[in-house]
Amino acid sequence: MFVRVTSLVLPRHLNSRMSNRLKHASSPYLLQHAENPVDWYPWSDEALQRARDEQKPIFLSIGYSACHWCHVMEHESFEDDAIAATLNENFVCIKVDREERPDLDQIYMLAVQIMTGRGGWPMSVFLTPDLQPFFGGTYWPPSGRMGMPGFNQVLAAVIDAWANRRTLAVEQAASLTERMGALAGHDLQPPGSLTLGLLDGASMHLERVLDRAEGGFGGAPKFPHAMDLQLLLRIWSRSGRSQLLHAVDLTLDKMAGGGIYDHLGGGFARYSVDAKWLVPHFEKMLYDNALLAATYTDSYLATGNEKHRRVAQETLDYVLRDMTDRAGGFYAAEDADSEGVEGKFYVWSRDEIESILGEQRAARFCAVYDVSEFGNFEGHNILNLPQPIDEVAGTRNWSLDELLAELSEDRDKLLAVRGRRVRPGRDDKVIVAWNGLMIDALSRAARAFDEPRYAGAAASAATFLHEQMWQSDRLLHSWRQGVASLPAYLDDYATLANGLVSLYEATFNERWLKWACELVDQTLEHFGGAEGSALYYTADDHEQLILRNKDLQDNAAPSGNAMAAMALVRLGHLTSNNAYLQAAEQILSALVPIMDASPSAAGQALIATDLLLGPVTEFVIVALADGSETKQCLSELNQQFRPRSVVALRSTELTADRCAALDALFENRTSHDEIALYVCQNQTCAAPAIGIDAARAMLHELP
């Protein structure tokens, strides 16, 4: 702690209600605060210059639209006239949407974690006019309670420190900033060796922290950890260790049965507040649903589990129904709250269900979905499946087929009624990185489930991003209601490039691969660090902040460096470009210390390492123009779980938007008037399989 908080009584100043400067913002989160009596600025030159001119400290508040406790602090403190008057008189107040400015969020979250030992949102940081942090925290109640200092006390202490001990505060801010620079991911340890031992160490760690009763890793609150689950599937595919597959199955089954999953509308909430996946934090984020849809798709391919196929499809259908802009992009999030109450949109009473379904049908539905008169959540009911439906049918001697059909009808009726409720707020901005994750998930599902609708949605999103957010060969980060803004970050470039590779493999439209190559070329040019180091999070021409961070660890979404490595490995094999593979190796080598010491923070990096170490199987198909044999061949290939592979296809007819970078892969490969399948590993190719029968036989014979 850099400032001592004491119990002081603040004078109350009146403050007239009027819109502040946030009324011109595009961010839904900032617009939520536009009527606060706090004289908010967005992060801008105007605000920063005022702080310098007046030598006032900055109060920086960072949150996001779906954050429940951000709403609480707004209502309790930022709508309070006395607190607002204190803020306005003594600080330059800046409000930031962390989803629009993750660069600022990363920097000042690191400061809060150093000062307090923890982080989260809302994030509240006090800065010098030179933008160096000297005090911070997360949520504070308006006045002290339950051992927590009140926001009024915090403000009084900071005001006192700035007025009476400013030199000390500035010195401490400089010292903290120096320490942040040392911890900001600037390759604290030398690069390490990329070996299969990293994967073994990760699997042993994940097995140790696995909840063997309820699935997932660790205790409450419990997060999905999609990257870790995908990693275990890949290690299982190498080792055949059944316990790894069991860990994935257990976790996915428990999540799909829990309240974290929306049993009526599809899709997953952000996390569960308990260890049994029952009570979610009800916000729904695009990135979680993209990552989990991809994970359930992988599990279906690995195991043939139809339940996992259904959950993947219902999750994607939720996104296409409720989270897709007419222009093609995918929205960021849905709020946890509606009508000011967390979860109100999603919970039920038994009486309400009986009034909709009738007494007899309701009795069966409630028995399956854990609905009681007393409720399982604050007197209400969160729908969940304590037992799988087939087990319930067996123990009660109900016909499973009849029960499944009945429950499907019942869910549709309840969903229709729920649709007439006041929906949670929706953050309708489009974030490139999260759209890249959803393009990837849709493309993988399109292949696995032979569902052209998913490939079409992925292509529509990619077209939208190219038309709206790719300007002068550089990418923008955020779009809302027709306006794109803010320079893109590393994860935007990397995650979109990876999604485009998946879209190419689902459609074989070479325009997507061409754009993916352009994206990684721009990434290496503008985000590169010193030789042997990882990439920076911001480009070399980005706004200058107090430090230039490197995104090395997974958080809720994969790290930018790990996604860059993933895209580079895939493109390296598809384009026969060793420079891409060498760049991926450099990035991942820099991440070895994290992969070794904290595998749970490096799931995506370990997935990319698994792919880099290979062997990677290259499937190259030269197809006939009519497409019938092509469809049969792809159907066989797409039903197999082959996480270390790339697929390329060209027809005997020239395709539009040909990607010249693919030419090397198809050199001297012809169709012989029949479909031809070429399979290569480690720069060694088997004799081509000519004709559909030979191609299908080869696919079955491959390990």
DSSP characters over 457-470: HHHHHHHHHHHHHE
441 has pLDDT over 90 = yes
Say what the pLDDT of residue 181 is. 87
Give the neighbor-by-neighbor strand order of the sheet with 333-334.
284-285, 333-334, 426-427
Is 21-183's fold the same as 617-701's?
yes
Q: Is residue 209 within 8 Å of 261, Cβ to Cβ? A: no
Mean pLDDT of 393-420: 96
Q: Is residue 155 within 8 Å of 9, Cβ to Cβ? A: no
Per-residue pLDDT band for 89 (boundaries 50, 70, 90) equals very high
CA torsion sign for 282, 493, 485, 441 is: negative
C-alpha to C-alpha distance for 170 and 176, rounded to whole angstroms: 10
Of the candidates 96, 91, 78, the one whose C-alpha atom is nearest the C-alpha of residue 37 is: 78
Q: Which fold has domain 21-183?
A: Glutaredoxin (3.40.30)
Give the pLDDT confidence of 175-201 residue by residue, as tens digits: 999 999 888 755 567 889 999 999 999
Say what the pLDDT of residue 628 is. 83
Give the pLDDT confidence of 412-432 residue by residue, as tens digits: 999 999 999 999 999 999 999
652 has pLDDT over 90 = no
Four-way CATH pick for 617-701: 1.20.5, 3.40.30, 3.10.450, 3.40.50:
3.40.30
Distances (CA, A) of 386 to 407, 408, 647: 15, 18, 41
* Least confident range of 14-23, 293-302, 667-676: 14-23
For the chain, the distance separating the N- and C-terminal CA atoms, rounded to the nearest angstrom, is 58
* Beta strands in 384-541, from DSSP E residues, in sequence order: 426-427, 430-431, 470-471, 474-480, 483-487
Tell me which DSSP letter residue 74 carries.
I
Q: Is residue 581 within 8 Å of 568, Cβ to Cβ? A: yes
What's the CA angle centered on 134, arms 132 and 139, to 5 degrees?
Answer: 110
Q: Are strands 92-97 and 58-63 parallel, antiparallel or unpaired?
A: parallel
Residue, of 584 and 657, whose pLDDT is higher: 584
Mean pLDDT of 527-533: 82
Per-residue pLDDT band for 66 (boundaries 50, 70, 90) equals confident
Say what the pLDDT of residue 11 is. 35
Say what the pLDDT of residue 68 is. 85
Can you list the alpha helix ranges (DSSP code H) found in 195-285? Answer: 196-209, 226-239, 242-257
Q: Is residue 381 within 8 Å of 347, Cβ to Cβ? A: yes
Give the pLDDT confidence of 336-382 residue by residue, as tens digits: 988 989 999 999 999 999 999 999 999 999 999 999 999 999 999 99
Residue, of 18 and 155, whose pLDDT is higher: 155
Tell me which DSSP letter residue 33 carries.
T
532 has pLDDT over 80 = no
Domain boundaries, the chain: 21-183, 346-420, 617-701
Say what the pLDDT of residue 163 is. 95
Q: Is the pTM of this model over 0.75?
A: yes
